[in-house]
Structure 1
Amino acid sequence: MGAKWIKIAVIYFILGIVVGMFMSSTLQLQWAAAHAHVNLAGWASIGIIGVVYTLYPKAANSTLGIWHFWLYNIGLPILLLSMFMIQVRPGPFPGWGALTKTLIFGGGTMVTIAVIIFIVNVFKYVHDSNSIGDKNRAS
Structure 2
Amino acid sequence: MGAKWIKFAVIYLIIGIAYGLFMHYTIQLQWKTLHAHILVVGWQSTGLIGVIYSIYKDAARTKLAMWQYYLHNIGLPILLVGMLFVPILNSIPMWLFELCVTGGGLAFALSIILFIINVFKKVA
RMSD across aligned C-alpha pairs, in angstroms? 1.0
Structure 2: runs of 5 or more not aligned: none
Partners of 2:59 and 2:51 in 1: CA distance: 12
- Displacement of 1:53 in angstroms is 0.2
CA distance in 1: counterparts of 2:39 and 2:21, whole angstroms: 13
Same amino acid, percent of matched pairs: 48
Q: TM-score, normalised to structure 1's length?
A: 0.86
Cα displacement (A) at 1:26: 1.0
Higher alpha-carbon deviation: 100-109 or 3-12? 100-109
Q: Which has the higher helix share?
A: 2
- Matches of 1:14 and 1:48, distance apart in 2: 16
Report deviation, 1:108.
Answer: 0.5
- SS of 2:87 mapped into structure 1: coil
1:19-98 equivalence runs, <5 A: 19-91=19-91, 96-98=93-95
Q: Quote how far apart the aligned CAs of 1:61 are.
A: 1.1
Larger Rg: 1
Question: Partners in 2 of 1:78 and 1:58 — Cα distance?
Answer: 29
> How many angstroms does 1:82 deviate by?
1.0
Specify the alignment match of 2:14 in structure 1: 14
Q: For structure 1, which runs of at least 5 residues remain unmatched after alignment?
A: 128-139
Contact 1:86 1:97 in 2 (8 A): no
Question: Partner amino acid for 1:69?
Answer: Y
